[in-house]
Amino acid sequence: MASHSPALTPAHTPAHRKKRIALTGSGSGSGSPGAPRTTRTTTSTTSTTRTTARIGVTLVLASAATVSLFGEAGNAAPQLTPDQVRAKVAALYQQAEQATQDYDGAKEQADTASSAVSALQDQLARKTAKLNSTRDALGSIAAAQYRSGGIDPLLQLALSSTPDTYLARASYLRQAGTQQSQALTRLAAQQQDIAHTRSLAAGRLAALRDAQSRVADHKRTVTAELTAAQALLAQLTAAQRAAVAAADGPAPASDAAAPATRAAVRAPLAPVTTASPRAARAVAFAYRALGLPYVWGATGPHAYDCSGLTQAAWRSAGVSLPRTTYTQINAGHRISRSQLQPGDLVFFYSGASHVGLYIGGGNMIHAPHPGSPVRVAPISEMPFAAAVRPG
């Protein structure tokens, strides 16, 4: 049978107990022979602890000094070259373009919801006025019955001394009863209609508030991306910034610019042959927009963003396009790059976040980004995604 007596561990040996006492004794002079040894051991331990602490503090201070001397140089962001700045700015503009399309879509939804809310509110006002008229009619009938003393009018007429009067008025009162019944039925229907309209208005109002919230979020995103791009451009010299701007085409002509200058900016590069008269009108509109500034969210007539320009160009030709690149890409017949003809819409990047109007010869007219006006550019300057022929 196994023994149940506890095993003797080193912690329970007499020698170990003496060692523990020596390390933890108070040194208060208890009169025991081991007391002086306890005092010396405690003093030695305290001295060792203080030495270790001093060494630790010294190491921390040395480390801090090292960080202070070399940390800034080691953590400082490397100076970007003009080409690196240009690439980063282009990436920020692309991100801003995506956010702009999201903003445009949310803004369109907010505008639609706002119009719907206004229309429903007008309906409610008209329906409420009709409801009040019905209530007034019922009130008049009730007042007439009250004035009759609460006795059935037909009974009152039956007691009349003139039978001819009874017969004439009985027909009138039956008609009045029918009117009362019709008024009550009409009142119930109007109440149900108003409740339904109010429910629709509440749904539209909720959609409006949601769209307005998304508009604000996308606006903050666009602003942040554009601010970051401007901060990067500020790192360049004036000459370098001018070179970046020159790569985007001519600056927008001011109102004070000579008409000849603006005409030169907007002049077609070559005769354009289009697939249809409507496409020709869209291309002509885009040429007239050359030199106008890019403003995100703008649909003209004095400024445009990319999808605002293509929408306005085709609207001038009598074709209604949706507001954003994400919806315009489905507003026509999808064609291949080899099938492009002037007037076609060309989309770029994997998310189709940018659009231009093809004008032939491998070129398009588009609104690039803030600081760059509506201009002619090769479609090869951005990653091609798809092409659509409206109309």
Q: Is 218 a residue of the active site?
A: no
| CB crowding 35-69: b at 16 or more within 10 Å, else e | eeebeebbeeeeeeeeeeeeeeeeeeeeeeeeeee
Residues 6+ away with beta carbon under 8 Å from 310: 321, 328, 345, 355, 356, 357
Catalytic residue among 4, 12, 354, 369: 354
- What's the pLDDT at 240? 79
Q: Is the pLDDT of residue 60 over 50?
A: no
Among the residue ranges 168-177, 243-252, 255-264, the one predicted with the least confidence is 255-264
Q: Is 4 a residue of the active site?
A: no
Catalytic residue among 4, 12, 16, 366: 366
Residue 248, both tokens: 């985007």
- What's the pLDDT at 186? 82
- What's the pLDDT at 144? 67
- What's the pLDDT at 256? 40
In terms of pTM, does the model score above 0.85?
no
Catalytic residue among 4, 196, 306, 333: 306
Q: Which amino acid is it at 267?
A: A
Q: Is 196 a residue of the active site?
A: no
Which residues sit opposite 376 in a β-bridge? 365
Q: Which residue has the higher pLDDT, 378 or 93?
A: 378
CB-hemisphere CA count at 13 Å for 174? 6
The pLDDT tens digits for 195-204 are 898 989 888 8
| Residues of the chain above pLDDT 70, percent | 63
- What's the pLDDT at 107? 85
Specify burial of residue 299 (Cβ count, 10 A radius: 0-12, 13-18, 19+): middle
